[in-house]
Structure 1
Amino acid sequence: ALTRNKALRKARGRWIAFLDSDDLWHPSKLERQLEFMKNNGYSFTYHNFEKIDESSQSLRVLVSGPAIVTRKMMYNYGYPGCLT
């Protein structure tokens, strides 16, 4: 968390996306997510993700969150974590 927080303080762009070393994104993930956000007037989104093993094979475990996240949930509980 320390490194991520330091990076956030230095970020200067309009959008921020978190990509950890163990993440694997679909090639059009960012494009599709940004298009969705712009078309719907959102400044924050997150989505479900599927767990994979070390060889990028699906473990058939889908991790999801609620359809709506409030500021209270984000500030008080750190929810939804980092599903971006």
Structure 2
Amino acid sequence: MITSKERAKLKKQLGPRYTKGVLEILKKQSVTSPNGESYTSSSIRNVLAGNMKNEAIENAIYDYATQEREKTERLAKKRKELLK
């Protein structure tokens, strides 16, 4: 389960519209709910808020956070190179 410390850091890293990216990761990994349907944005928000425990969604959240961090780092590197 995502702790309150992790939640604060993740929210900052993910930004306001993170559920779409997490849903894309779940879809790409063919992860579905126990009834075979796709997870919802609400489920993702509940996991991040600590209201629900789901290892697959937590892993997708961390994967998306990693992607976003790498994207931010690449952009910062480009900016630094361009503005030398």
Q: Same fold (TM over 0.5)?
A: no
> What TM-score comes out, normalization by structure 2 length?
0.28
Q: Relative to total residues, which structure has the larger helix share, 1 or 2?
A: 2
Q: Relative to total residues, which structure has the larger strand share, 1 or 2?
A: 1
